[in-house]
Amino acid sequence: VTSVVTLGECLIAFVADEPGPLSEAVSFRRFVAGAEANVAVGLARLGRDVAFIGRIGPDGFGQAISRRLLGEGVDTTHLVVDPGAPTALMFRERRILGAAQVVYARSGSAGSRLEADDVERAAAAGIFDATRWLHVTGITPALSAGARAATETAIRIARTHGATISLDLNLRRRLWSDAEAAPVLRELAANVDVVLGSPDELAVLDRSTDIPSVTDPAALARATLEIGPSVVVAKLGAGGSLAVERDDPDRILAAPALALTAVVDPIGAGDAFCAGFIAARLDSVDVAAALAMGNACGAAAAATLGDQAGLPTREELAALLYALPGTPDTIR
Q: Write out the catalytic residue numbers.
A: 271
CB of 327 to ligand KDG, least distance (A): 26
Give the burial class of 178: count Cβ atoms within 10 A of its Cβ; 0-12 exposed, 13-18 middle, 19 or more buried.
middle
Q: How far is CA 260 from CA 237, 273, 294, in A?
A: 11, 15, 15
Task: Return the closest-CA partner of residue 75 out of 36, 23, 127.
Answer: 127
To ligand KDG, the closest distance from the beta carbon of 271 in angstroms equals 5
Cα separation, 44 vs 38, whole angstroms: 10
Give the residue with the Cβ less far from ligand KDG, 110 or 331. Answer: 110
CB nearer ligand KDG, residue 90 or residue 243: 90
With respect to ligand KDG, which residue has the nearer C-beta, 275 or 285? 275
* Minimal distance, residue 126 CB to ligand KDG, in Å: 27
Q: Which residues contact 288 (CB under 8 A, 6 or more apart)?
A: 243, 253, 254, 255, 328
| Other residues' Cβ atoms within 10 Å of the Cβ of residue 194 | 25
Residue type, 212: P
Name the CA dihedral angle for 229, 294, 309, 166, rounded to a multiple of 10 degrees: -10
Q: Which is nearer to ligand KDG, 34 or 141 (CB)?
A: 34
Note the residues at the interface with ligand KDG (CB under 6 A): 13, 33-35, 38, 90, 139, 172, 267-268, 270-271, 307
Q: Which residue's Cβ lies closest to ligand KDG?
A: 33
Q: How far apart are CA 36 and CA 30, in angstroms?
A: 18
At its nearest, how many Å lie between ligand KDG and the CB of residue 329?
31
